[in-house]
Structure 1
Amino acid sequence: MISFLVCLAVLIGGYFVYGRIVEGIYGPDDRETPAVRINDGVDFVVMPKWKLFLIQLLNIAGLGPIYGALAGAQWGTSVFLWITLGTILAGGVHDFSVGFMSMRHDGASVSELTGIYLGNIMKTIMRIFSVVLLVMVGTVFAVGPAGLISLLIGNHGGSGLLTNTYFWLAIILVYYFIATFIPIDKIIGKLYPVFGICLLVMAVGVAIGIFTHGYSIPEIEFANLHPSTTPIWPMMFVSVACGAISGFHATQSPLMARCCKSEKESHMVFYGAMVCEGVIALIWAAAGSAVYARTGGLTVGLTEMLANGQATCVYDICTKTMGGVGIILAMLGVIACPITSGDTAFRSARLVIADWFKIEQKQYRNRLYICVPLLAAGALISQLNYGVIWRYFSWSNQTLAMIALWTASMYLYKNAKNYWITVVPATFMSAVSVTYFFCAPECLHLSTAIAYPIGLVAALVFLGLFFHATAEHHELFKHFHLFHHT
C-alpha cells in the first residue's frame, strides 16, 4: 500500500514540478492562439480552460487507462512504476508537445507537424497511418458498446430490435456522424465535461472502496507475476498505453489546441489531463492487484477474470468496491466512455484529411464531403472480423507516440531549446516499439535473445539519425549565415 501512495504522490508532484519544467522549456507566451485568430465557429472555438481539461481527459482516456492498467497489472505491481514514470517523463511531455506545437502551427494535426519537422515522406506515412488508425479506433469503440447494450437489455428481459447489436451500432454511428459534423462546442463542449467528471468519480470511488472493503494493495515487486510468464519487456510497456504514453493522444491534442484561448493553458489542459489519466490508471492497476488473490504467487485470478472480458472485470471490481452505485458507474464507463472517444477519433480523422487536402471546414458541404465517406468506411469495417488486426493497435499506438516525440525533438532543436526532454523518451519508445515488433506473437515472434538486441540497436540508430539530422541542419545554417553576411 505504501508503494501505491508514494507513486500517487509522485504523480501529483510531477504535475507541479516536471510539468512546469516542460512548460518553461517550450515557453508559452501571450500571442494569439488559433482559437482566437481563426475562430471559424466549428473546430476553432474558444472554450473555458476547465472544460478543455475535462474534454481532453475524456478524449485521451475513455477506457484506455482502465483496460490497459488492468492488463498491465497481470505482470505485477511493477506496473505502478511504468504508469508513474511513463506519465511524468513521457506521456505528459508527449501530449504537451503535440498540443503546443499544434497551437504554434494554426492547429495543425500531428501528421502535418511531422511533415514540417521530419520531412514529406514521414508526413505522408503519418497521414495514412493516422486516418487508418483513427477509423479503426472509432469503429471498435462503436461495436463494443453496441454489443454490450444489446447484451444488457437481453439479460434484463428485453427482446426484439432492442437486443439487436446492429440496431445499436447504427444508432451509435448516426451519433458519430452528428458529433463529427457539428461545431465542437455544441455536443462535445457541453456534454463531455460531465462524462469526464464521471470518469474521475468512478476512479475515486474504486480507490476509496479498496480501503473501506478491506482489500490490501501489494507493494512493488520486481518480478514477473504473469501466469504465462510473458516477458515484462516490452509487453507490459505496450499493454499499458493510455495511462503512461499513447500515440492516440497525438491525434486528440490538436482538437483542444484549436480551442485554447492562451498558450499558457497548455500545462493544465495537456500535461494535466495526462497526469490525471495516469492517476486513474494507477488506481485501476492497484484495484486489479488488490481485489484478485494470487495463486502460487502469480496473478492468476486477475488473468482469469480478464479472460471473461474486460468489461466483465470492470463490472466486478466496481461491484466489489462500490456496490450498487458501482454498477451504475461501471455501465456508464464501459458504454459512454468508448463512444465519446470513438466520435472524437472520427472527428480527428476528418481534420487530418482536411489538413491533408487543404479543405476548409467552415462550410457544411465541405464537412459532408469528408464525414460521409469516413462513417461509411466505419460501417463497412464494423462488419469485418478484425480481431487479428486489432492486436496490432497497441504496437501501432506506441509507434505513433515514438514518431510524435521525435517530431517534438526536432522542433525543440530548431528553436534552440532543451530537446533532451523529448529525445530520451523518444529513444526509449523506439526500443519498446521495435522490440515488440520482433518478439510479439502477432508480429515476427522471434525469441527475446534476438529481439532485445535488435530493439536496442534500432533505438541507438534512431538516436544517431536525429543527431546526424541536427548536425546537417547546423551546417546548413552556418553556410546560410556566412552567405548572408558576404
Structure 2
Amino acid sequence: MVSFLISMVVLVIGYFVYGTIVEKVFGINPGNKTPAVKFNDKVDFVPLPAWKVFLIQFLNIAGLGPIFGAIAGAMFGPAAFIWIVVGSIFAGGVHDYLSGMLSVRHNGLSISEIVGVYLGKYLKQVMRVFIIVLLIFVGTVFLVGPAKIIAEMFQNGWGTGMWIAIILVYYILSTLLPIDKIISKLYPLFGIAMLIMAIGLIIALFSGVYHIPEITGATMRNMTINPEKTSLFPILFVTIACGAISGFHATQSPLMSRCIRSEKEGKKIFFGAMITEGIVALIWAAAAMAFFGNVEGLNFAMADHENNAAWAAHEITNGMLGNIGGILAVIGLVAAPITSGDTAFRSARLILADIFNYDQKLLKKRLLMSGPLFIIALILSQIEFGIIWRYFAWSNQVLAMVVLWTVTAYLMYKDKLYIISLVPAIFMTLVCSTYILLAPEGFELNHILAYGLGILITVAISLLFWNYAKRKRIPGITMEIVE
C-alpha cells in the first residue's frame, strides 16, 4: 500500500514540478492567438472552456488503455508501478504536451504534418499513411471491443454484430457533426464518470481487506507465469501504453489544439490529462493485483480466461464496487473506448483534410473524407480481435517514438533544452525495435540476438537523426506559424 501511495504522490508532484519545467522549456506566449480564436468555423475550430477541453482530452486519450493495459501490465508485478510513474511524467507528459502545443503553434495541424515540418517531407508521407492506418486500427479496436463487452453483459439476443452496427452509426454521427454538438456535451460527463469509478476503486482498496504488493527487491522482477516468453523488457513498456506513453495521444491533441483559448491552458490540458490517465492506470494496476489476492493470483485468473482483460475489469468493478460497479462498468468499459474510437475516426478525417487541403465546413465534404474510413473499419472488424490489438499496440508505440524525435528536432532548432525529449526518444526507439524482433507478431528472435539488434537499430536511428538535425539546424530559426 505504501508503494502505491508514494507512486500517486509522485505523479501529482510530477505534474506541478516537471510539467512546469517542460512548459518553461517550450516557452508559452499568452499573447498568441490560438487556432480556435483565429479560425473559429463552428465545426472543428471551436473555443471551449479549459475544464471541458481537459475532460474531452482525458477521455479521448484514455479509452480502454489505462484499464486493460494496466491490468495486463499488473501481471508483471509492482514493476508496472515504476513504469506508469516514470513513463507518465518523463515520457508521456513530455510527448503529449509538446506535440499538443506544436499543433497549437501550427494552426491546429495534424501530427503527420508537424512531423513533416521538422523531420522532412519524405517521413511526412510515410507518417501520413502510418497514422491513418493506426487510427483505423484504433477505431476498429474500439468498435469491436465495446460491442463484445455489451453483448456479454446483456445477453439479450443481440449479438456482437448488431452492437457493432449500432456503435458504427454513432461513430458516423460524432465524426461528421460539429465538435460542440455531441463530443463537447457528452464527453465531460463520461470523463467524470470514469474518474468517479477510479475514486471508487481507491476507496474500496483502502476500506477493504485488500493487499497491494510493495516495491521491494524481491518483487522488482518479472512475475508473469512464463517470464521467458513474456520478457519484462520490452513487453511491459508496450503493454502499458496509454497509462505511460502512447502515440495515439498525439493524434488526439490536434483536436483539442483547435479548441484551446490560450496557450496558458496547454499544461493543464495536455500534461494534466496524461498525468490523470497515469493515476487511473496506477489505480487499475493496484486493483488487479489486490482483487485476485496477489500477482500470482492475477496471473492464474487471467490464464484461466485467455488473458481477457475485459473479463478481469468486469470482475473487479462488480466485486469491489457492487451494483454501482456494474453501472460504472458500463460507462467505463463501454463509453470510454467508444469515445476514443469516434475521435480516432474524426482525427483521421482531419488528417486527410490536411493532406488534400480540403475544407471541412460542408457536411458532404466531411462525409467524403470519412466514408472510406468506416468501410475499411467494418471490413477489419471481421478479423480476430487479438490480432488487430497486438499490431495496434506496437504501431502505437512506434508513433510515440517518431513524435518524440519530432519534438526533439523542434527543441534543437529553437536552441532549447532538447534532452527532455531526447532521452525518452532513444528509450522508446529501443523498446519498439526490440519488441518487433522478439514478439510473436514480429520476428520471434532469441533474446540475446533481439537485444543486440535492438541496440544497433537504436544507435543507427539516433545517429541518423543527429546528422539530419545538425544539417537542418539554423540558429534562431522560427518554424511556428502563430499569426
**TM-score, normalising length: structure 2:** 0.94
Matches within 5 A, 1:241-252: 241-252=241-252
Counterparts of 1:150 and 1:108, CA distance in 2: 38
1:259 alignment partner, SS class: coil
CA RMSD of aligned residues (A): 1.7
Name the residue aligned to 1:281. 281
Counterparts of 1:59 and 1:168, CA distance in 2: 21
Question: Amino acid of the residue matched to residue 33 of structure 2?
Answer: E
Counterparts of 1:421 and 1:273, CA distance in 2: 19
Matches within 5 A, 1:400-419: 400-419=399-418
Q: 1:227 to 1:423 in 2, by over 3 A?
A: same
Task: Kindly state the Cα deviation for residue 386 of structure 1 after the two structures are TM-superposed.
Answer: 5.5
For this pair of structures, how many residues does the alignment match?
471
Matches within 5 A, 1:132-151: 132-151=133-152
Counterparts of 2:199 and 2:300, CA distance in 1: 23
Name the residue aligned to 2:122. 121
Counterparts of 2:288 and 2:450, CA distance in 1: 29
The 8 Å contact of residues 72 and 239 in structure 1, kept in 2 or not, is answered as: yes
Give unpaired runs (5+ residues) of structure 2: 478-483
Question: Amino acid of the residue matched to residue 65 of structure 1?
Answer: P
Name the residue aligned to 1:203. 198
The 8 Å contact of residues 401 and 428 in structure 2, kept in 1 or not, is answered as: yes
Does the alignment pair 1:434 with 2:459? no
The 8 Å contact of residues 141 and 342 in structure 1, kept in 2 or not, is answered as: yes
Name the residue aligned to 1:458. 457
Name the residue aligned to 1:32. 33
Task: Kindly state the Cα deviation for residue 310 of structure 1 after the two structures are TM-superposed.
Answer: 1.7
Name the residue aligned to 1:420. 419
Question: Amino acid of the residue matched to residue 110 of structure 2?
Answer: S
Task: Kindly state the Cα deviation for residue 48 of structure 1 after the two structures are TM-superposed.
Answer: 0.3
Task: Kindly state the Cα deviation for residue 468 of structure 1 after the two structures are TM-superposed.
Answer: 1.4
The 8 Å contact of residues 47 and 260 in structure 2, kept in 1 or not, is answered as: yes
Q: 1:306 to 1:91 in 2, by over 3 A?
A: farther
The 8 Å contact of residues 34 and 261 in structure 2, kept in 1 or not, is answered as: yes
Counterparts of 1:308 and 1:460, CA distance in 2: 35
Name the residue aligned to 1:75. 76
Counterparts of 2:182 and 2:469, CA distance in 1: 44
Matches within 5 A, 1:58-69: 58-69=59-70
Question: What are the superposed Cα offsets for residues 432-474 of structure 1, whole Å, 9 maximum, x if unpaired?
Answer: 0000011112100001101112222222222222221232234
1:91 alignment partner, SS class: helix
Name the residue aligned to 2:330. 331
Task: Kindly state the Cα deviation for residue 430 of structure 1 after the two structures are TM-superposed.
Answer: 0.2
Does the alignment pair 1:9 with 2:9? yes
Match of 1:227 among 210, 225, 228: 225
The 8 Å contact of residues 79 and 285 in structure 1, kept in 2 or not, is answered as: yes
Matches within 5 A, 1:162-311: 163-220=158-215, 221-229=219-227, 230-294=230-294, 299-304=298-303, 307=306, 309-311=308-310
Task: Kindly state the Cα deviation for residue 376 of structure 1 after the two structures are TM-superposed.
Answer: 1.9
Q: 1:115 to 1:429 in 2, by over 3 A?
A: same
Task: Kindly state the Cα deviation for residue 313 of structure 1 after the two structures are TM-superposed.
Answer: 0.6
Q: 1:318 to 1:473 in 2, by over 3 A?
A: same
The 8 Å contact of residues 211 and 294 in structure 2, kept in 1 or not, is answered as: no
1:31 alignment partner, SS class: coil
Name the residue aligned to 2:52. 51
1:403 alignment partner, SS class: helix
Name the residue aligned to 1:20. 20
Name the residue aligned to 1:104. 105
1:383 alignment partner, SS class: coil
Task: Kindly state the Cα deviation for residue 388 of structure 1 after the two structures are TM-superposed.
Answer: 2.4
Task: Kindly state the Cα deviation for residue 337 of structure 1 after the two structures are TM-superposed.
Answer: 1.0
Counterparts of 1:431 and 1:27, CA distance in 2: 29
Does the alignment pair 1:322 with 2:317? no
Give unpaired runs (5+ residues) of structure 1: 481-486
Task: Kindly state the Cα deviation for residue 208 of structure 1 after the two structures are TM-superposed.
Answer: 1.1
**TM-score, normalising length: structure 1:** 0.94
Name the residue aligned to 1:91. 92
Q: 1:17 to 1:306 in 2, by over 3 A?
A: farther
Task: Kindly state the Cα deviation for residue 308 of structure 1 after the two structures are TM-superposed.
Answer: 5.8
Q: 1:267 to 1:305 in 2, by over 3 A?
A: farther
1:17 alignment partner, SS class: helix
Question: Amino acid of the residue matched to residue 326 of structure 1?
Answer: G
Name the residue aligned to 1:41. 42
Q: 1:360 to 1:417 in 2, by over 3 A?
A: same
The 8 Å contact of residues 227 and 298 in structure 1, kept in 2 or not, is answered as: no
